[in-house]
Amino acid sequence: MKQSILEKIVIVGGGSAGWMTAAALSKFLPKDRYSISLVESDNIGTVGVGEATIPHIRLFNQILGIDEAEFIKETNATFKLGIELNNWANKGDSYFHPFGDFGEPINGISFHHYWLMMQKQGNVPPISDFSVPVVAAKNAKFCHPHSNKESLLSMYSYAYHLDATSYAKYLRKYSEERGVIRKEGVVTRVIQNPESGDVSHLTLQDSSQIKGDFFIDCSGFIGLLIEKTLKTGFEDWSHWFICDSAVAIQSESHGSPLPYTKATAVSAGWMWKIPLQNRIGNGYVYSRRFCDDSTAEQELLKQVRGKLLSEPKVLRFMPGIRKKSWNHNCVAIGLSAGFLEPLESTSLYLIQVGIMKLLEFLPLADAQNIMRVEYNNVIANEYHRIKDFLILHYYATNRKDSPFWRHVRTINIPKSLKDKILLFQNTGYVEDYREGLFLEPSWLAVYFGQGIYPRYNSPKAQKIDIEKLYMFLLERAEAIKSAVSAMPSHITTINNINQAHPKIRLASNMSMYGENYE
């Protein structure tokens, strides 16, 4: 084979996508057979969203061999146990989407069937009381999950809030130490091979040329290679997601950082609040059809407490997905591959999946078409899965208090989501799948949090001794409360890590819900 020939991989664009890709490739590719370079310009700002993550990021850091304590320090990270969603179904509502399930199956039947049955008879604690991460989050507690599977404190996972710009910097150092060549400059031309149509080289502003065998487009929304050059096409999802803008601003922390992200529905969209160690990230995702930029900025500023640390920054986006993430000898990773609003903190996850999948297909330069097809299917599937889940948040609402929410009610949701909801209403069943995000615990959190319940008691749950079940539920909720009260506070854990630099060796996996969840 082409063992001795050097394969040149060129990454276009820094930012989270570019440097995460560079870091992973530099870690895993044999140096004698691959050269990796990354072109970026200091003059082009990065979007730098995606400061809230989901637990999969831990696996990414782990396979790169990144020390958690160092990472926390470098990126000003805090821990995240889930998302608090406010005002979604009705004004005044609040619920959690936690990184953990709501109790383990009993006799092979999902816990929620039992809870539902008892709840109809009244007098059981709310489902959130059965989730360790919810109870911990509400009490601003955090410690690493226990490895003893018998412990209640093993029943959750966690992610981070991080400074995406620092993370990119950190990974840049990591990559450069492992031989990635960074080239400063603006790409002015992309030249294709006239016969194959493949990208052959780039021309920079200073008219230097960069040749490559394989290109990774991390240029963001613009899609310099994948779209501007290869004209791959974009599937527009704005008929499902009417928000097209966001305004973001940083503010000074007030009080200790919370171990969760807040997503609060407001008059023309929703606002995020992401606590880092040194500051808070605030943002408003809105629709310009219902709110202009200056109103959005004012609305956001009204909600921000503490001193402002940055100028408001407005972002425009188009929700949707690139028709092919991998086209010719170019893969789009990050915003060039697609955009979904950060309501469920999936931006860095989608980058990670793109990278991990790509690593499976090496060597890239002589990849066969079948690999591109599989890669594109896998990536599209990820976006579609997340898409349905996000739409659910907007669909399952009773809000009529603003033109935005009155309009959201009229949106025709995808059939795949319609069927999922109907199936849940009929049977309480949430389909299980092996690939892609959001399994039963997440769907339950949003269904229950936004008022979608099965119409009937599941016949499966009724076999159990009601008295015993009732006692078990009460006991379990109490046990969780008491286990959480013994946990250290979130800030204590962060301070300990910053001071003591402990070696944290915790297995991580591609799951939202912790090791125990099957």
Partner 1 sequence: MSSSVMKVVIVGGGSAGWMTAVALASLLSKKQVEVVVVESPDVASVGVGEATIPEIKLFNDLVGIDEIDFVINCQATYKLGIEFTNWGQKGHSYMHAFGSLGTPLDNLPFYQYWQRLYLEEQNLDLNDFSVCAQAARQNRFMPPTLGKNTPLSQLRYAYHFDAGLYSDFLKRISLERGVSLIKQHVVGVDCDIQSGDISHLRLKDGQCVSGDLFIDCTGMNALLIGKALSVKYIDWRSLLPCDSAVTVASSVLSDLPPYTRSTAHCSGWQWQIPLRHRTGNGHVYCSQFIDDVYAQQILLSHVEGECISSPKLIKFTTGRREKFWYKNCVAIGLSSGFLEPLESTSIHMIQESIFRLLDLFPAKDETGLYQHRIEREKYNQLLANKFESIRDFIIMHYFANSRKDSPFWSYCQQLPIPESLKEKIMLYQSSSRIYRDSHDLFSEEGWISVMHGQGIKAKNCHPIAKNRSISVVKKQLLSIKSVIDKTVSYMPKHKDFLQRRIE
Whole-angstrom Cα distance, residue 87 to residue 98? 17
Contacts to partner 1 from residues 28-47, by CB under 8 A: 28-30, 33
Does the footprint of partner 1 cover residue 455 (CB under 8 A)? Answer: yes
**DSSP element (H, E) containing 70:** helix 68-74
CB nearer to partner 1: pick between 302 and 455? 455
Least distance in angstroms from the C-beta of 62 to partner 1: 9
Contacts to partner 1 from residues 54-113, by CB under 8 A: 63, 107-109
Does the footprint of partner 1 cover residue 457 (CB under 8 A)? Answer: yes
Block residue for tokens 């986006």: 317
Block residue for tokens 């320090």: 73
Segment contacting partner 1 by CB under 8 A, of 95-103, 252-260, 420-428, 473-481: 420-428
Choose among 395, 405, 400, 412: nearest CA to 450: 395
Segment contacting partner 1 by CB under 8 A, of 211-219, 220-228, 283-291, 424-432: 424-432
CB nearer to partner 1: pick between 138 and 146? 146
Q: Are 99 and 156 in contact (CB under 8 A)?
A: yes
Whole-angstrom Cα distance, residue 132 to residue 98? 9
CB nearer to partner 1: pick between 108 and 194? 108
Sign of CA dihedral 377, 379, 384, 385: positive
CB nearer to partner 1: pick between 63 and 506? 63
Contacts to partner 1 from residues 1-20, by CB under 8 A: 1
For residue 310, how many other CB atoms are within 10 A of its CB?
12
Whole-angstrom Cα distance, residue 290 to residue 219? 30
Segment contacting partner 1 by CB under 8 A, of 50-58, 273-281, 426-434, 478-486: 426-434
Choose among 160, 217, 176, 180: nearest CA to 15: 217
Least distance in angstroms from the C-beta of 234 to partner 1: 26
Contacts to partner 1 from residues 459-478, by CB under 8 A: 459-460, 462-463
Got the DSSP string for 374-423? HHHHHHHHHHHHHHHHHHHHHHS----SSHHHHHHTT----HHHHHHHHH
Least distance in angstroms from the C-beta of 208 to partner 1: 29
Does the footprint of partner 1 cover residue 431 (CB under 8 A)? Answer: yes
Does the footprint of partner 1 cover residue 363 (CB under 8 A)? Answer: yes
Return the active site residues: 80
Out of 123, 368, 410, 499, name the contact with partner 1 by CB under 8 A. 368
CB nearer to partner 1: pick between 268 and 358? 358
The two tokens of residue 42 are 């200091």
Least distance in angstroms from the C-beta of 277 to partner 1: 29
What is the spatial order of strands in the sheet that 187-192 belongs to?
187-192, 199-204, 209-211
How many of the chain's residues bind partner 1 (CB under 8 A)? Answer: 37
Contacts 24+ apart (CB under 8 A), 492-498: 493/79, 493/142, 493/143, 493/144, 494/72, 494/78, 494/79, 494/142, 494/257, 494/277, 497/68, 497/69, 497/72, 497/73, 498/69, 498/72, 498/73
Contacts to partner 1 from residues 327-356, by CB under 8 A: none
CB nearer to partner 1: pick between 219 and 352? 352
Does the footprint of partner 1 cover residue 365 (CB under 8 A)? Answer: no
Whole-angstrom Cα distance, residue 36 to residue 22? 7
CB nearer to partner 1: pick between 437 and 494? 437
Out of 361, 398, 414, 489, name the contact with partner 1 by CB under 8 A. 361
Out of 90, 203, 398, 458, name the contact with partner 1 by CB under 8 A. 458
Out of 365, 371, 396, 506, name the contact with partner 1 by CB under 8 A. 371
Q: Are 214 and 2 in contact (CB under 8 A)?
A: no
Does the footprint of partner 1 cover residue 456 (CB under 8 A)? Answer: yes
CB nearer to partner 1: pick between 30 and 92? 30
Buried b (16+ CB within 10 A) or exposed e, 423-460: ebeeebebeeeeeebbbbbbbbbbbbbbebebeebbeb
Buried b (16+ CB within 10 A) or exposed e, 142-154: bbebeeeeeeebb
Out of 398, 427, 495, 496, name the contact with partner 1 by CB under 8 A. 427
What are the residues binding partner 1 (CB under 8 A)? 1, 28-30, 33, 63, 107-109, 359-363, 368, 370-371, 373-374, 419, 422-423, 426-427, 429, 431, 433-435, 455-460, 462-463
